[in-house]
Amino acid sequence: MSSSSKYIVRLPIKDRENHIVGYEIQYYGENSAFGGADSAAANDFAAADTIYNFLTLNTDKLLRGTLNFMTFTTTLLMKKSPRLFDKNELVIQIDDSVIIHPLAMHMIQQYAKEGYKIAVNEFQFAPRYLAMLDNIDYIKLNFQTMQELTLKNIIEIAHSMNKQCIAVGIDTEELYQRALKLKVDAMEGTIVAEKMT
């Protein structure tokens, strides 16, 4: 496998005034994106290995001095991958696969105690999500798939608890305007900024 098939994409996350608050880091390798797609458990270990090695070699050059939002799988958490980053430069993103994993969630609580910021992808109105609100700093909401009323309710609850809401999938003017109307704290998507590799 050639090294050219592995790269990182930085998606700018911008606030309402169009200032960059950070970057979503997506790792692409072996023709699949890490961070979005679900992979079988065996693949997960292979991917985690590759990503861990990639990060170990590249964090110094690439990702210093900015706030990096990066999705960590249970396997990457077990490898203590977040420790490759300074806690002021990393937001540990987790999704449902981590939230339903008791050991992974225990590690997330530990990272939160140490001062790492935590974000949840595709937040849902479900007991397991609500139960962990104390440890969360950012809530990411998919504006393409969620109903406006649901979004409005989650954003209101989040703001009442001093959580930041990030609208993702903002790739039309209509979604951009909806995100502004619902008073999200930041946005991510093709309308917000072109992907920067």
pLDDT digits (tens, 9 = 90+) for 1-15: 444 466 778 889 999
Spatial distance between the Cα atoms of 81 and 189, rounded to a whole number of angstroms:
26
Give pLDDT tens digits for 153-196. Answer: 999 999 999 999 999 999 999 999 999 999 999 999 988 875 54
Q: What is the value of pTM for the model shown? A: 0.83
Cα separation, 82 vs 71, whole angstroms: 10
Helix locations, the chain, DSSP H: 41-62, 74-78, 96-99, 102-113, 127-130, 148-160, 173-181
Which residue(s) pair with 62 in the sheet? none
pLDDT band at 139 (very low <50, low <70, confident <90, very high): very high
